[in-house]
Structure 1
């Protein structure tokens, strides 16, 4: 559940027009499970039979219907979406061991120093409302331990700098790890794509994964063109119906162009995300970049990154309403909103 304001509510448009949503904000950090617990009354308002919990920094096809069906068959308190990764990268995630027959979660450890398993937690969960009882048990245990322990004032001051607050409950260490192997938690392995978004460059990779999925599941959403009546399209490209793209431009692969964007004659776009209201003028080039809302890129200008998805400055990002004037080159840089660039920059963060 997103945490933007304590009481905001609203509705979505389009195919989700009938879905109501609410943004909730913690008064202080309570942990990944503790934050869920303090909003339990909101979550349980309509007495849901199941609760879907998604980490915000993951990209996936999110096979929730199949996962829910499996969860109901398991009959446990919770089901985790899991994925297999290379042994070299597994320790960057929560590693787990599952029963190959029943898919029960047998062991869970968060980012271990030594290799445990190539099966990792994807940060996508389905729980029954019993998750709140499990969190409440942890809170009670923490309170009991605090009441039993007697320390000197010096020890208390020293430990206070290290210990977590008593109402801070972590989903992984406090719920998943201790309840593994107790027939309460199960796993569902995805065979489709999954990525964790830890750098700006990963946003472009994830955009490409979704576009590739559109090719298989919704090809009508992708653009096509041979440069005669419409722009030349290479690979997977999405162009919003309200965007205006000149037929002499060349777009793709892995490009997403949002609403009311304008792409001028001779422009070249590769591996980029163009957000609402952007104007890309004649013969401009955008490669390995994200261009923010209402920004403009001048004639013969070049906005590009190296395309290193794991580097902090592996791509270029322009914030909202950034104006790049004519014949300016921006390479591997991050530009905050409402800036005008009339000189070329490389590997800079412009505040």
Structure 2
């Protein structure tokens, strides 16, 4: 087969209701992968990055959400990118590698030469074509995107050691208790179809061990607690760790940005990173304060075409305004995500906050926070249809849906 005919498929793991509690109250309304960052659903960023892969045949989204929750998005993005995107629902957890293996027949339908695997809750520039080129040079089974981080934060992730000359993965350990390396796994991979043989090998070993241990029911219960089901295979511990140092796996280091999107605070930080990236990839999506009839725009700002923004408002940096929002006279917005149907009345200020769908912020009110993205109350979050009355100040707080605030609050979670 000539290289020009080689097909590539991409699989994006979107997770689902079994997890994601850290994303509340925003995930009460919408699956986390569809939450907008820089005005586009979170999953849109890895999907549009996949579009740049040469000979891309198909994109699969794998998760636990009901299919209907993704149906509309999947059909619109397939039309927009002219690449088939399909949602595959997992019925039970199979682990990160087991989930891939579970749908192997579909994934291999087009006989692809390479399979990309991406995690949806990762924010980066996704240098996929460059990874594929490097992977072909290395000639192994898989290539992992890695990044250098501070030694203090490395232990929160999978740490790895690679050969400085050949880039071969020599050692891999998931969230180690002692420091191993300041290079970590970014959760973005490209594999040859041999990955399915490797996953099958782990499953087969488990089955063999299970058959050897035909035991009393008490022992069986004890064993089930210790040993995962035979079809539950984790990519990191079960595949990467044992294959390190066997000339099978290689690394590709990104010098660009990378973050993990576990909390609403991090989604605000990642929205800023994607807005900054739009300068190079999609400048048409950024707002420009041009002319006398438009608001003052500072830095990177996204405004949905259906939103109405008063010319005397001052917006940015790092602001994303969704569909049908109404921004009144003299409003100041800094580092915030304004969701669909929000109304912000005159002279209100919003900074370091996410304002939920159909919420209302009254005149001269302030919704604000310190902007510590990793702290529990580092940003202020208003759930759906929250009303903040005139001249009320909401600071470093989380407000659950359908609340009305007529007095100021600070560092509170309002249920």
TM-score of the aligned structures, taking structure 2 as reference length = 0.79
Whether 1:160 aligns to 2:224 is: yes
Unaligned runs of at least 5 residues, structure 2: 1-60
Q: What's the offset of the Cα at 1:17?
A: 4.1
Partner of residue 51, structure 1 = 115
Q: Is the deviation greater in 101-110 or in 197-206?
A: 197-206
Whether 1:320 aligns to 2:384 is: yes
Higher relative contact order (CA 8 A, sep 6+): 2
1:42 to 106, 111, 119: 106
For residue 271 of structure 1, give the secondary structure of its aligned residue in structure 2: strand
Partner of residue 207, structure 1 = 271
The 3 A distance-change label for structure 1 pair 338 and 47 is farther
1:2 and 1:277 map into 2 onto residues whose CA distance is 30
1:157 and 1:49 map into 2 onto residues whose CA distance is 42
1:193 and 1:17 map into 2 onto residues whose CA distance is 24
Q: Is the Cα–Cα contact under 8 Å of residues 296 and 323 in structure 1 kept in the other structure?
A: yes
2:171 to 104, 107, 120: 107
Q: Is the deviation greater in 243-252 or in 153-162?
A: 153-162
Matches within 5 A, 1:190-201: 190-201=254-265
Whether 1:141 aligns to 2:205 is: yes
Matched positions, count = 351
Unaligned runs of at least 5 residues, structure 1: none
For residue 147 of structure 2, give the secondary structure of its aligned residue in structure 1: strand
1:73 and 1:16 map into 2 onto residues whose CA distance is 32
Matches within 5 A, 1:176-325: 176-225=240-289, 228-325=292-389
Q: Is the Cα–Cα contact under 8 Å of residues 323 and 341 in structure 1 kept in the other structure?
A: yes
2:356 and 2:106 map into 1 onto residues whose CA distance is 34
2:116 and 2:240 map into 1 onto residues whose CA distance is 16
1:13 and 1:111 map into 2 onto residues whose CA distance is 35
1:83 to 141, 147, 172: 147
TM-score of the aligned structures, taking structure 1 as reference length = 0.92
2:321 and 2:210 map into 1 onto residues whose CA distance is 55
2:358 and 2:110 map into 1 onto residues whose CA distance is 40
Q: Is the Cα–Cα contact under 8 Å of residues 200 and 312 in structure 1 kept in the other structure?
A: no
Whether 1:174 aligns to 2:233 is: no
Whichever structure has more helix as a proportion of its residues is 2
